[in-house]
Structure 1
Amino acid sequence: MIDAIKRNWRVGLLVVAVLGATIVLFTPMFAPDPGAEGIGNGTDTGSADGITNLQFGLDLDGGTRIRAPLVGYTATDVEFNGDDPATVASNVAGQLSNTTSTGVNAELDDPSEGGTGAVEVTDANVSETEFTAAIEAAGYAYDGVRPGVTEETLEATIEVIEGKINEAGLSGGSVREIVDASGRSFVLIEVPGEDRNDVEELIAERGTVRIDIFIPNDGNGTRNRAVVTQDDFENVGTASRSDGGGSYVPVSIVDTAPAGEPTPAQQLQQAIGQANQQAGNPGTDGWKCAANPADRGKCAGDYTQSEEPRLLLVVNDRVVNDFGMDGGLLQSMVQGTWANDPGFRLTTGAGEDSFQRAQQISINLRAGALPAELGEGSSSYISPTQGEQFKTYSLIIGILSVFAVAGMVFLRYREPKVALPMVVTALTEVYTLLGFAALLGYPLDLAVIAGFIAVVGTGVDDLVIIADEVMSEGDVSSKTVFDSRFRRAFWVIGAAAATTIIAMSPLMVLSLGDLSGFAIFTILGVLIGVLVTRPAYGDILRMLLTDR
């Protein structure tokens, strides 16, 4: 008995795989967490079906999918000629008549490489020809210009959209980057159970943001509310790194108003001057976190403990950041000259997380406005009813494929002891693969279902190769003869599996949307087949066909 178990341990491994898949599929401890992340797309985009722990994507659950590029152009390997990124962006923007300085962004890649970096324009009104002409007119050499934006802007856009989806309470929504065959990046937005128009309106919707002023007054601080409101922001740039190691976000305030009324920039300038006077601050060194020169730059963590005024960034009625003010900027406001060119930087100081904080500030200031507009792409909506139909059709197709394979196998061999184990083994392979899908939290969609069907086809092909090889030369009652023939068949199967894995690997590695799911589960199925089910089928055949 023990010798038989040792000889047929591969069958035992198959049983263990089936039991493991059963536990993962039906045990509550493996039930999906709505907030958990999966390998498929960075977030859980599907919902469990209530019976198993499987999750379904938009194709089978219903919802909206939007796929679009970001509008803009990026010049690569731009020689900054020693200029800082803000100066480069300003010089290039100065050569464009139909955009503002915050419509152009510059990012220094590595100062040690001669001061080269990337320059992008995110204004939809600027053409590629105009952009290249502006860079050349500004005196900067560059390697080339490509459609799209920088990776930083792409990440910021994804984070803005994710924030909108989360704030709206849309569970299971996901936003990620995908890349087409030409290497161009797209933003893929998937929101289960929501209508397409609602999702598009959500993306375009702006939040509530304003700037308040905190004024210390004999230890009892007061807040001058809403000195800058949502509509007063004219432009908000993307986060940039400064030469000193810190980071900043460039912003500007509207400097126009109806005749006889002060502009928003003038109103902010006046409010700053009044706050400075009320706090009794001469303003020569700007607003710091503490009055003691030795402690300046060391914020207490709570703006209410500051000894000097602070600018407060308020998003949806919640203070998310507070800022001091540079001495030169404060002087220009006190003297009344700043409103003539109402731009300034919100800085985050030095530190490892400086740039990340600047990115978050930029996102907050945009109040839901995307760093770059979504261009023309594709969008689709699958109703929940249609998703249920797709589930039913997928199940029917799967059953039909199994019966079709079983019928062909019986017609080919006319021996139940050869054909029946073949069909059962193929089904256990699919069942084990479903267990992996539940374990990984990968939502099933039509592409994944197609991968399952491909696995059934390639799996049965391999099992047919095994059966033909061991039975093609007559008597196979000897275990030694069987093992010899099985090894020859397994070499052919192994080579075919390696070819499939190599062919599918680029689709799995590249972010090519639905093709990634197809490739991932085809490769997983091939690996399960080569490592578990094919060897187990060989052991089953040996037990049934040999007697010595």
Structure 2
Amino acid sequence: MRPKRFILEYWRLMLLLVFVAGAGIALFYPGGVIADDGYVDDESLDDNPTNLEYGLGLDGGTRISAPPIGMTAEDIDAGAVSDDGAIDRERLTEIEDALYDELGLETGDVRVSVDDGGSVHAEIFTDEVSEDEFAAALDAADVEVDPDDGIREGVTEETRDDMIATIDSRINAAGLSGGDVYESAQLGGAYYVVTEVPDMDPDELRELLSERGLVEVVAYYPDEDGNHTNETVLEGGDIAAVDPPRADGGGYAVPVEVDSNAAPEFQDRMNELGFTDPNVGMGQCGLATGTDGVDFDQAGEHYCLLTVVDGEPVDAHSMGDLADGMRAETWDSDRTFQMGAQDQQQAQALSVNLESGQLPAPLNFEDEQTYSLSPALADQFKLYSLIIGALSILTVSGVVFLRYRDVRVATPMILTAMSEVVILLGFAALIRMPLDLSHVAGFIAVVGTGVDDLLIIADEVMDEGEVNSQKVFESRFRKAFWIIGAAAATTIIAMSPLAVLSLGDLQGFAIITILGVLIGVLITRPAYGDILQRLLTDK
């Protein structure tokens, strides 16, 4: 048979071979087919010759589930959205300012937003304010709300999505490969933010999640009365790019690039306050910084730029070389400078906070649910999973050979079933899905259901007598395929709720099972039909 004709006639088998080859590339190509945004060190690459990533059950680590702290006034009548859908940003800012003033909250603890439907929501991210106090503060902002109906505990879906994105960015920026962040709905309407990070103990992960990451650059300078005052001149959102921390003199620095919209205002304000004037404030920062932070008990007039993280000054420094470009009004075309830190750990935390952004709301660790597994125990689970997988393959192979006692039929059946697992592993490596014990159970289920379907195909084709023509084969194969197609549809329907609901490990099992069924129906079962046709007919 000519190669072209063979490919056209057995294109299903060719498709299977293409998918298996692609899975092999995804599994073993150095660095992976899709570049990893996280940091993976050389040691981890040596330990794992494949591109597979492992979750807590196979790599060790910690999972922390905790609800966001906050209170929300939903769908308030704020006069900030007109009938034609135009949003009055000044009105939203006015409401935020009023809530800050009335409740005495810290920066970042208030958010007033408009959702896609045009409804206005006001949120406060603290547990120290009652619903009545929140309602009174809204009333002071000329916003009417019923404290018994319009205010509820918790935050909006938009805020939860922002929290998940921020935490995900934070664990990736910290070089924690294989981490995962998602939302879990609880009975009663509460929502938890679930963070899973391999190779990290609970205290380390809790510390990472407890930081709001509110980074500010504050100008510290003497006022007209001779007292020093603080003025925020840059916020974390004004930073456009962050470079890795590096040593700088006796401490460390994080090089950053300021956003083009914020740079001119920052430059103008530094000139206005005298920070760039050699005769006023240039180089006039005498505040000492140690492990306990900035020491403000220093005599004299100081013109310092303070690096402030979550309200705590961590470094104080003068303008340095930055002053020359600002005084000449050319710095805003370059827009780079360095934020100081006292040690490498502090600099790394500062870099991570700048890259990930501020965590919109804090997490309530008093109601947390924690699961932790040591790496040593996870390595045992990994070994046991490999052993169980091998035993399942051997057992299935033995049953198939006993059933047919025909190497021509049984061997392709086992190889086809194994190809499903290879394709699934390649898909997991491609998208960098962290594999866990639930996924291993899904792989074993895929082997079992896959062989079941192949047995149905073989029985339907062979039990009704000799296959003496291609037409007879195709008729029997179609009949078998309708049976396994209906079974596959039933499995997908049954597993779909588990795959979409936040039910922990059951979700991973359902996803792998559904993917395995789809791969089987669309790729491997038809390919096995081509193999049987080749073996049992004259073709």
- TMscore range, shorter length: 0.5 to 0.7
Q: Does 1:12 align with 2:14?
A: yes
Letter in 2 for 1:56: Y
Match of 2:487 among 486, 489, 496: 496
> Is 1:26 aligned with 2:28?
yes
Q: State the 1:37 CA deviation.
A: 10
Unaligned runs of 5+ in 2: 81-89, 239-260, 276-303, 309-313, 320-349
Which residue does the alignment assign to 1:314? 307
| Equivalent residues of 2:60, 2:373 under 8 A apart | yes
Displacement of 1:430:
0.6
Match status 1:192 vs 2:182: no
Question: Structure 1 residue 105 and structure 2 residue 110: aligned?
Answer: yes
C-alpha separation in 1, matches of 2:489 and 2:357: 50
Deviation at 1:125, TM superposition (A): 3.7
Q: Give CA-to-partner distance per residue, 1:310-363, whole Å, 9 cap, x none.
A: 8966345499x9xxxxxxxxxxxxxxxxxxxxxxxxxxxxxxxxxxxxxx9xx7
Unaligned runs of 5+ in 1: 39-45, 217-223, 240-245, 247-296, 322-359
What SS class does the counterpart of residue 435 from structure 2 fall into?
Answer: coil
1:203 aligns with 2:193: no
TM-superposed deviation, 1:547: 3.8
Percent of aligned pairs with the same residue?
Answer: 47
Query: For residue 140 of structure 1, what is the aligned residue in structure 2?
Result: 144
Residue pairs, 1:69-148, within 5 angstroms = 69-81=67-79, 84-85=91-92, 88=95, 100=105, 105-109=110-114, 116-126=119-129, 140-141=144-145, 144-148=150-154
Match of 1:65 in 2: 63
Structure 1 position 546 matched with structure 2 position 537 = yes
Deviations for 1:77-123, whole angstroms, at most 9, x for unmatched residues?
Answer: 12225693455467778998xx748696352426995xx41122332
Cα deviation digits, residues 185-239 of structure 1 (max 9, x gap): 32222332122122223433687866224799xxxxxxx998549xxx9xxx999
Stretch deviating more after TM superposition (8-17 or 207-216): 207-216
C-alpha change, 1:445 and 1:488, in structure 2 (3 Å) is: same
Task: Work out the number of aligned pairs and report it.
Answer: 425
Which of 360, 371, 386 aligns to 2:361? It is 371
- CA spacing shift, 1:19–1:195, aligned 2, 3 Å: same
Report if the CA contact (8 A) 1:195-1:381 is conserved: yes
* Counterpart Cα distance in 1 of 2:370 and 2:133: 30
In structure 2, relative to structure 1, the CA distance for the partners of 1:426 and 1:139 (3 Å cut) is same
Letter in 1 for 2:185: D
Cα distance in structure 2, aligned partners of 1:101 and 1:442:
38
CA offset digits 1:118-142 (Å, max 9, x no partner): 1223322446687679878986246
**2:524 aligned residue:** 533
Q: CA deviation at 1:538?
A: 1.0
Contact 1:212 1:226 in 2 (8 A): no
Deviates more, 1:519-528 or 1:449-458: 519-528
- Rate the CA distance shift 1:402–1:476 in 2: closer, same or farther, 3 A: same
Query: CA 1:526–1:307 in 2, change beyond 3 Å: closer, same or farther?
Result: same
Aligned to 2:514: 523
2:53 matched residue in structure 1: 55
Q: CA deviation at 1:535?
A: 0.9
2:471 is aligned with 1:465: no
Give the secondary-structure state (helix, strand or coil) at the position aligned to 2:127. Answer: coil
Q: Is the counterpart of residue 172 in structure 1 residue 177 in structure 2?
A: yes
- One-letter identity of the residue aligned with 2:18: V
Separation of aligned partners in 2, 1:58 and 1:505: 24
Name which of structure 1's ranges 140-149 and 396-405 shifts more when overlaid on structure 2.
140-149
Q: Quote the residue 2:412 is aligned against.
A: 421
Distance 1:179 1:215, change over 3 A: same
Q: Deviation per CA, 1:496-541: give whole Å up to 9, x if none.
A: 3334334444554556554444343333222221222101111222
Distance in 2 between residues matched to 1:29 and 1:112, nearest whole Å: 43
Matched position secondary structure for 2:58? helix
Task: Determine the structure 1 residue equivalent to 2:393.
Answer: 402
Within 2, Cα distance between the matches of 1:439 and 1:534?
Answer: 23
Q: Residue 478 of structure 1 contacts residue 546 of structure 1 at CA under 8 Å; is this kept in 2? A: yes
Tell me the CA shift for residue 70 of structure 1: 0.8
Change (3 A) 1:298 1:7: closer
Q: Is the 8 A contact 2:179 2:198 kept in 1?
A: no
Instruction: Provide Cα deviations, 1:46-74, integer angstroms capped at 9, x if missing partner.
Output: 97853222222222111122121112232
The amino acid that maps onto 1:429 is E
Q: TM-score, normalised by structure 2?
A: 0.65
